[in-house]
Structures are given as structure tokens and as C-alpha cells.
A and B are shown apart, each in its own frame.
Chain A
């Protein structure tokens, strides 16, 4: 029996006593190659006979279009910015992820609540509020974090289609041009991700290495997770780590 482990208060109206599947999440900023890695990982898992469900940030039926439109309008405040994504996440969690885990699937999540926590912290949101807002989330079995430095990230962004308003954090850097805003915002995000990686025991991989080298490490981490062996880095639940100091904003 694998009872669910929740990030906070969970979903009290659902009674799951057994979730035999595994929840594996891949975190990282934009342009670190999350989707290529997930595609390769999925293929590798399916060849071994595992049933896989993929889910990704903003991909819900309920919120996908709304989030796209809201971003177009540039009219989000820091709470609506967070709550829209929370709602997207809740829709996928309840309508896709939990049913799949109950049926024994391996769920691969492209980004998870840590993205929202990093972005929320960068916008000066109260830590306790943020954690409560996502308290209904299921704690993943494995979090792999693809880490990159801001200079590499900036160059990749310029090479692959340029920067957009939200990726550059233009909403919180009025007066800066897009390039300067991007550098400042992404540096801040990377700092937050690093802090979160420590708090929640992420498995950190260097996103500047080759796709194949990253994939090999990713598969090794997933193999460990599936075999139930202790992961390379211990994975404490949110209840086991000390509360983080709120970053100065």
C-alpha cells in the first residue's frame, strides 16, 4: 500500500488509501530542455512496459486558454498570476494525475508547484500564503531539477525565438528593457530554484551538458525511484525540512 503524501493539507474530500503509480517531476526554468528529456524518458519507460501519463504546466482543459489570454493582456496581479496556475494544476491533479496514479501509471510532470513557488517568491508573495495555496498538491516521488546559469539561459533564449514579456518578468521590472529585465528576473528565479532544490531535496542535473548525458543521469535517478531504493539525494517531505527564510524582496 502506498498512501498519498500531500504537500500540505491535501484534498480532504478524496479518500485514496493506495496510489501504486509513481509521480516524477522535471523542474527548471525555460529553455533547459525539459520537454526533450521527458520525451526520451517516456520512450525508455514504455519500452520497459510501464504505462506513462504526461502532464504539463498550463495544459489543463479548464485553464489552458484562459491563461494564454490572460498573459496576452498583461493584466495579472501577483495573486491572480499564482491562482490561475494553481487552478490549472488542481484540474490536472484531480482529473488526470490522481486517477493515473491509482491505476499504476508513471506520471511525468513537466514542471510542478515548485515553479509557482519560485515565481511567487520572485514577486514578493508571502511564503506561508504560497505554501497554503498549493497545500492540496501531492508530494512527488522524485523531482529532477535541470539547472542552468543565467548567461547560458540568456543566449539560448536569444537563439530560440527571443524573450517574451512574462519570461522576462516585465511585470515586476517596470522601466527596464526586455534584455535587462530578463537577466534580472531569471537570475532571481534561479536563486529561488536553488533554494527550493535544497529545501525539498531535488535531484539536481547540469542542464548545460549534452542531451544524452542528461538523459543517462535522469534514467539512473528514475531507475532508483522505481526500484524503491533510496534516491541519490534523500527526498524529505515538506514536513521534514525547516521553513525557509523568506527571501528579501
Chain B
């Protein structure tokens, strides 16, 4: 056995332990155009209406690495590893400043994408799956993760209706898979979906069929949320003293 594997054994499995905080962490995942952000907004309305204090946080939204990400994308100089590390830095910053404090305060944190986005996208770019999982081993485990599953064609149609064209990195153009941006998007996002599918059992995702009408998906999402709040633990508000 090599020293590396000995050391790796010493690391806990990524996201294995439940967090100790009184709040709840709910995550939505899915490829671009899956409609997960819409579902999250509707879920926030529902929870606020029930009297919960809700805090929203988005992937890649910290000020810390914003300039570097912009520069890297503009000059198209990001590699799979720098792409991954920039997002990990963004995440580590938000975890400490945006995610853990509201969890400690007994709030419901709704995260639009989480570490699983890195596990899916970065691996689809070619980074080592174990490396990226261990990079995020400081993350807290979500109480619930919804995966909005959608075929590539549906997401592609939704994206092209909403805006004029696909973005370079979202289409995986940096990998040189195809000179056609649409074809590149198809190949790259298919790999991302394959990684998400692999994680369904690994991390216990709640899979939602994202081809269905928006209200139907939201009904299903709310049913699962109701179970989390009613059965798993006592209501958040009672735990906060």
C-alpha cells in the first residue's frame, strides 16, 4: 500500500456526517436548463409562507474569486484544475460566511448547486473523481438534495429560447470535443448527467423528473420537504433557544 492511499484512508468519506446545526440545508442540483433555480425560488416562497427563515445562496457567487473567474473565462485560459479550484475557493468562502452562520441560527439554507456540481462538472472535464471529492471534504452534508433530471435536448431547447447563445465553458468548449458549440454542449453535458446519475445512490439524491410541468415538480418537491420538517427532526423554530 502506498503512503498516498494510507493518507487518503485517514480522510473521512466526503459529506458522510450529518451537520450538528439546528438549521436545515436543502440543495438543488441539475444541469443548466433543468429548471432547478425556478423550483428553488418556488420552494423558498413555500417555506417563507410557513414561517421559516430562509437564506438563499448560489454557486459561484462570492466576491473573493469573481475577478479571477471573469478573467479566466474571458481569456479562455482556465484548465480543468484551475476551473475546479476557483469554484472550490468560492465554495469555501461561502460555506464559512453564508452557509454555516444561518445554519447555526436555525434558518433554512437553500443552495442553488452545491459540491455535487463540482463532482459532476469537474469530473466531466477530466479531473480525478477522488481528488475533487476530497477537496470538498470540509463541506457539510445537506439534509436534502434534489436532483432535477432532464434530457440534454430539453435543456438545450430551454437555454436557446431564454438567450441567444450557449456559453463557452457551459458547453465544454475548452475540452475541444467539437467545433460546433451545440454538439460540444451535447457531449459535455451528457457526461455531466452521467456523473449526476452516478451520485444518486452515492449521496442519496431525491430525483425529480424535470420534464414535467413546473407545478407538478413543485408539488413533489414540497411533499419531500414536508417529510423532512415533520418527521426527521422537530420543527426548527422549537430548537432555537
Q: A173: CB under 8 A from chain B?
A: no
> Which listed residue (A70, A87, A126, A239) contacts B11, Cβ 8 A?
A126
Residues of B within 8 A of A239 (CB): 2-4
> Which listed residue (A12, A86, A132) contacts B127, Cβ 8 A?
A12
Binary CB contact string for chain A from 117 to 129 against chain B (1 if under 8 A, 0 otherwise): 0000000001111
Interface 9-residue window, one of A33-41, A77-85, A210-218: A77-85
Interface 9-residue window, one of B89-97, B165-173, B185-193, B201-209: B89-97
A129 lies within 8 A of B81 (CB): no
Question: In this complex, which of A83, A94, A241 has the most chain B Cβ atoms within 10 angstroms of its Cβ?
Answer: A83
Question: Which A residue sits closest to B175, measured CB to CB?
Answer: A13
Interface 9-residue window, one of B26-34, B67-75, B212-220: B67-75
Q: A57: CB under 8 A from chain B?
A: no
A9 lies within 8 A of B131 (CB): yes
Q: A30: CB under 8 A from chain B?
A: no
Q: Number of A residues contacting the other chain (C-beta, 8 Å)?
A: 40
Residues of B within 8 A of A241 (CB): 3
Q: A54: CB under 8 A from chain B?
A: no
Question: Which A residue sits closest to B80, measured CB to CB?
Answer: A13
Binary CB contact string for chain B from 1 to 41 against chain A (1 if under 8 A, 0 otherwise): 01110111011000000000000000000000000000000
Question: Which B residue sits closest to A129, measured CB to CB?
Answer: B137
Residues of B within 8 A of A66 (CB): 64-65, 67-68
Binary CB contact string for chain A from 181 to 221 against chain B (1 if under 8 A, 0 otherwise): 00000000000000000000000000000000000000000
Q: B135: CB under 8 A from chain A?
A: yes
Question: Which B residue sits closest to A94, measured CB to CB?
Answer: B79
With A70-B64, A239-B4, A240-B3 already in contact, the answer to whether A90 and B85 are too (CB < 8 A) is yes
B82 lies within 8 A of A87 (CB): yes
CB distance from A55 to the nearest CB of B (A): 15
B71 lies within 8 A of A62 (CB): yes
Binary CB contact string for chain B from 136 to 159 against chain A (1 if under 8 A, 0 otherwise): 011000000000000000000000
Binary CB contact string for chain A from 124 to 141 against chain B (1 if under 8 A, 0 otherwise): 001111011101100000
With A66-B65, A90-B79, A129-B11 already in contact, the answer to whether A9 and B130 are too (CB < 8 A) is yes
With A128-B8, A131-B7 already in contact, the answer to whether A84 and B82 are too (CB < 8 A) is no
Q: A91: CB under 8 A from chain B?
A: yes
B85 lies within 8 A of A87 (CB): yes
Question: In this complex, which of A129, A238, A240, A243 has the most chain B Cβ atoms within 10 angstroms of its Cβ?
Answer: A129
> Which listed residue (B72, B75, B93, B138) contacts A129, Cβ 8 A?
B138
Residues of B within 8 A of A69 (CB): 67
Q: B88: CB under 8 A from chain A?
A: yes
Residues of A within 8 A of B135 (CB): 132-133
- Taking Cβ atoms with an 8 Å cutoff, the residues of B that contact A are 2-4, 6-8, 10-11, 64-65, 67-68, 71-72, 75, 77-82, 85-86, 88-89, 92-93, 95-96, 125-128, 130-131, 134-135, 137-138
3 smallest CB-CB distances across A and B, nearest first, come from A13-B126, A79-B92, A87-B85
- Taking Cβ atoms with an 8 Å cutoff, the residues of A that contact B are 8-13, 61-63, 65-66, 69-70, 75, 77, 79-80, 83-84, 86-87, 90-91, 94-95, 126-129, 131-133, 135-136, 238-243
Given contacts A62-B68, A79-B92, A131-B4, 9 further A-B contacts (CB under 8 A): A13-B125, A62-B78, A62-B82, A83-B85, A84-B89, A87-B85, A91-B82, A132-B134, A240-B3
